[in-house]
Chains A and B, each alone.
Chain A
Amino acid sequence: MMADLAIRESQAQAKPAAGDALTQRLAVLPHPASGITAAARQDALARLEKMGLPGRRDEYWRFTNPGVFNDPVPAPIPVQTDANDSPLFEDIDRLRLVFVDGRFDAAASDALTGEGFQIDLLSAAEATASHWAGEVYGVLEANGQTPVSRPFAALNTFAATEGVLIRVSGQVARPVHIIHRRRSDAADVNLHHVLLLEEGSEFTLLETGMIGARSNIVIEADLRAGARLHHITAKLASHPKVGIGHIFARVAAKAQFKSFELSVNGRMMRHESVVDIAGDDAVAHVAAAVLGNTADGPFHHDNTVFITHAGERCESRQVYKKVLSDGAVGVFQGKILVKPGAQKTDGYQISQSLLLDGDSQFLAKPELEIYADDVKCSHGSTTGAIDETALFYLRSRGVPRERATVLLVLSFLAAALDEVENADLRERIAERLEEWLMHRAQNDRTQNPPA
């Protein structure tokens, strides 16, 4: 009750400068009033009020209009009646957690137990007297607010209604798979997951499915020394998605963080990856394969990455590939920050887009900011159309144009997919992607029969 009051008070104190937009946004935002995260939520609200919601002139939102994330309520998106779970990971052994419009569906999910890790729901943990996540919730998000502010992450920490808290102690081979489903047209979903990987542990997290009419997901991942996290999020269904996601990772000595995103179509998506390589000899790889046309309405997909090297002899890789057509817009903002003393850093970043027609756009800001001398950092960015010579080569071997185009798109995306370490998962993704591309090519043909 006290916490609730405190929140309301600070809400009332929100400066007009932070904008009426924020007041309106907060007014309709349900949020848990008390529990183990109450203090963290208050801190997050204070951060949010200080930074305000982003505007069009905000440098960090130069290429993406934050409007749909600023709106108090999302525009409804009709639920597709034939929407099924993605078959991507369906026949592998995994622990399934089903969320319907952001609410946990216990009946549809597996039991919350497994060897080598402890798993709880945020809502359940809130009610306990003490829980490990109470010390962790919101901490990495707060650290990730400098030097660039990320208001929607703070908003999420403040308002998240549910999430998964996983503490990993062993080498866990069986992935945890979060499956999202939709039932309501207008759900506004705020989920906040916390992963704590103890020393030497290993874990795989998979995410699939559509989330609400608008989603705001935060994942905080704390990798202790020598821990290994594999994270794959795949949005293969063609659907007008609106969402913003943040993953905050802290990577301790000799730990390895690997995160891969596959995203197909959508409407307005922004994914921020904020990785703090804190220990020595650590590794962080982030990658995405994004394909968009405007079959589901205007397509805009933004990957924003900020990797900070503080440890010595660490390696980071960013591999971002976007295939765009029909007026789709792809955005990449990526930064490698090498702090003083982070010697022997090996930082690599590539952002590439393949524009399949003349209407699409790719907007990129690949940055390096380096304060140590004994480093090897590079980035590259290319934009262009499909390689006509390669297309001809394939066709001269008898491969029809549309299939040849699909092969070249897959070829273009291959380096991003290679970042999925597990060969089985990687091949599943590649196969599904190829199926999807062929399906789309055939749809294109039926819609626009060749002249």
Chain B
Amino acid sequence: MADLATDAIEVREGVDRETVETVQNMGSYKYGWDTEIEMEYAPKGINEDIVRLISEKNEEPEWMLEWRLAAFRRWQTMTEPRWALLTYPEIDYQDQYYYARPKSMEVKPKSLDEVDPKLLATYEKLGIPLKEQMILAGVERGEDAGEERRVAVDAVFDSVSVGTTFKDELAKAGVIFCSISEAIREHPELVRKYLGSVVPQSDNFFATLNSAVFSDGSFVYVPPGVKCPMELSTYFRINAENTGQFERTLIICDKGAYVSYLEGCTAPKRDIAQLHAAVVEIVILEDAEVKYSTVQNWFPGDEEGKGGIYNFVTKRADCREARAKVMWTQVETGSAITWKYPSCILRGDDLSGEFYSIAIANNMQQADTGTKMIHLGKNSRSRIVSKGISAGKAQNTYRGLVTMHPRATNSRNYTQCDSLLIGDQCGAHTVPYIEVKNNSSRVEHEATTSKVDDDQLFYCRARGVGEEEAVALVVNGFCRDVLQALPMEFAMEAQSLVAISLEGSVG
């Protein structure tokens, strides 16, 4: 009977057997365990001394410290933005730890072999292989079947980078992939040139805080003409309690280069909300292309809204020169609060900016997420596809800006944002800003809001699929435009996440 059901389902668009099986096999938030490991903390709270301490722990040069201090002084004059459709208690910024690292990381391991086995085991358990030559489970690519798909990983545990794989092989291609703290020490000329050039220190409250206290994160430089030989990935894990994670990622894709970058995140289940304020800056030069994919799976809090990550993230790509391309893809299933607008500054001519998003909010989750497409140069194309799913008592908002400056002639934007409601206690909202200042450009925005289609649900159930699985199937179908934009292994992870995130949303 079950077989019959899945067979029947496979003919339906956008859904597949994996989803069904995943739903059947998995419990709810599966990354909620923690690692018992001896940690070293900076004192609670934030002040200039803490900023100095973070800088010192990272063995940073003086200029970096000055940069941080300038940001900190600026931050003290700023107020937390409250314009998003988010309700959360006031955050006490003095009641957080701003630096936490495993004791074993005090002396920097020279290679992965020297890393504390407990840490390696943590990532193993998360399904993130830190041993080189391993492949992500079950991944095979159609066109070059048989060949192993390799992904280089930078693993960040609370405030520090634990290790980066495939560094040597990447170095042979000229690609620099390391933690940002290492880049500050080893490649200061690149970091000084580009850090803060896309997201300035003073950009917004959370980005400024990050500029002051970021502890680690990833750094990527792809030299001119190089197609990065493998996908790069950073895996963020918040483990310690009461600890904010403030990672900073800087990606520079030089002329004619290409890189695909994946980001994943998880955190243990804890009763108290944790703060996460990251900054991602991407610089893309002439003819270069960057794909940035995120599967955000922070702990979303429990059914009553206790705990979870407060996620305030600034992500921005700057297409500085002609024919540059950027593609953001995000699957947002985690976080109690999401405040996140990965954006594209389309500065050169003939550029392409794309944003694909799935945001799922269940139980008491709240998400306010979207993008900005800022068209400054001529003949550029941008595309926004956003799929928001609300269930339980969650609130889910798409917020976006499309602007065509007077000189951004002959450009196009197409925006499609769809919302799906599951249950009558949740909310789905759309807040687009559209500013068109020349007439040779064309801007189209479409949005729809509806509930899960009863006919589709009934069809699935009539074929023997349980209600919850049926919802997951239908939702995966609803999201297919975005799922298709993800790298293969992420797409599969995302499909199962969709299913898991919606557990308990019906009945």
Q: What is A's interface to B at a CB cutoff of 8 Å? A: 59, 340-341, 343, 353, 355-385
Contact = CB atoms under 8 A, between A and B. Distances in A.
* Interface SS, A side: strand
Given A358-B409, A374-B424, A368 B438 contact: no
B472 to A, nearest CB: 17
Given A59-B83, A376-B450, A365 B439 contact: no
B426 interface: yes
Given A365-B433, A378-B447, A382-B445, A357 B439 contact: yes
Contact of A367 (B431, B436, B446, B448): B431
Interface in B406-428: 406, 409, 419, 421-428
Given A341-B424, A368-B429, A373-B451, 16 more contacts: A340-B424, A358-B406, A358-B439, A359-B406, A360-B439, A362-B435, A364-B432, A365-B433, A366-B445, A369-B85, A369-B429, A371-B427, A376-B449, A377-B450, A381-B445, A385-B442
Contacts of A383: 404, 434, 436, 441-443
B76 interface: no
Q: Most chain-B CB neighbours within 10 Å: which of A59, A353, A355?
A: A355
A358 B443 contact: no
Contact of A368 (B430, B433, B435, B441): B430
B436 A353 contact: yes
Contact of B429 (A362, A370, A376): A370
Given A370-B429, A384-B442, A361 B409 contact: no
B439 to A, nearest CB: 3
A362 B424 contact: no
A290 to B, nearest CB: 15
Contacts of A356: 439
B124 interface: no
A344 to B, nearest CB: 11
B444 interface: yes
B430 A379 contact: yes
A280 B435 CA distance: 36
B445 A361 contact: no
Contacts of A373: 421-424, 426, 451
Contacts of A371: 426-427
A358 B434 contact: no
B365 to A, nearest CB: 15
A359 B437 CA distance: 7
Contact of A362 (B422, B425, B434): B434
A375 B443 CA distance: 26
Interface string B447-458: 111110000000
Q: Sorted from nearest, which 5 A-B pairs have the closest CB atoms?
A: A355-B439, A373-B421, A384-B442, A383-B436, A368-B430
A367 B441 CA distance: 22
6 contacts: A355-B438, A367-B430, A373-B423, A375-B421, A377-B449, A377-B450
A341 B425 CA distance: 9
A375 B436 CA distance: 30
Interface of B: 83, 85, 404, 406, 409, 419, 421-451
B371 to A, nearest CB: 16
A421 B420 CA distance: 33
Nearest to B442: A384
Contacts of A365: 431-434
A222 B499 CA distance: 47
B446 A370 contact: no
Nearest to A352: B444
B442 A363 contact: no
Q: Most chain-A CB neighbours within 10 Å: which of B83, B85, B441, B447?
A: B447
Contacts of A359: 406
Given A373-B421, A378-B449, A368 B436 contact: no
Contacts of B429: 367-370
Nearest to A372: B424
A109 to B, nearest CB: 43
Contacts of A340: 424-425
B426 A381 contact: no
A382 B429 CA distance: 20
Given A343-B424, A370-B419, A382-B444, A375 B434 contact: no
Contacts of A380: 444-447
Contacts of B422: 373
Contact of A370 (B423, B434, B441, B449): B449
Contacts of B425: 340
A369 B397 CA distance: 8
Contact of A384 (B85, B432, B441): B441
Contacts of A375: 421, 449-451
A357 B439 CA distance: 6
A314 to B, nearest CB: 15
Contacts of A360: 439
A372 to B, nearest CB: 6
A228 to B, nearest CB: 28
Given A381-B434, A381-B445, A370 B421 contact: yes
A280 B205 CA distance: 44
Nearest to B414: A382
A368 B429 CA distance: 5
Contact of B428 (A355, A370, A376): A370
B436 A363 contact: yes
A382 B439 CA distance: 11
Contacts of B419: 368, 370
A368 B449 contact: yes
A299 to B, nearest CB: 15
Contacts of B427: 369-371
Nearest to B430: A368
A50 B424 CA distance: 35
B424 A366 contact: no
Nearest to B391: A373
A83 to B, nearest CB: 32
Q: Most chain-B CB neighbours within 10 Å: which of A340, A358, A373?
A: A373
A379 B447 contact: yes
Contacts of A357: 439
Contacts of B83: 59
A353 B427 CA distance: 30
A363 B438 CA distance: 11
Q: Most chain-A CB neighbours within 10 Å: which of B419, B421, B439, B443?
A: B439
B214 to A, nearest CB: 30
Nearest to B450: A376
Given A364-B434, A377-B448, A378-B446, A384 B439 contact: yes
A44 B126 CA distance: 60
Contacts of B437: 361
Contacts of B449: 368, 370, 375-378
A150 to B, nearest CB: 19
Q: Most chain-A CB neighbours within 10 Å: which of B83, B85, B404, B443?
A: B443
B446 A361 contact: no
A310 to B, nearest CB: 14
B162 to A, nearest CB: 43
A358 B439 CA distance: 5
A329 to B, nearest CB: 9
A378 B437 CA distance: 25
Given A361-B437, A374-B451, A385-B439, A368 B428 contact: yes
A364 B449 CA distance: 19
A331 B396 CA distance: 26
Nearest to A366: B432
A393 to B, nearest CB: 19
A382 B424 contact: no
A385 B440 contact: yes
Contacts of A370: 419, 421, 427-429, 449
A353 B441 CA distance: 12
Nearest to B454: A374
A356 to B, nearest CB: 7
Nearest to A369: B429
A366 B85 CA distance: 16
A60 B83 CA distance: 12
B402 to A, nearest CB: 10
A362 B436 contact: yes
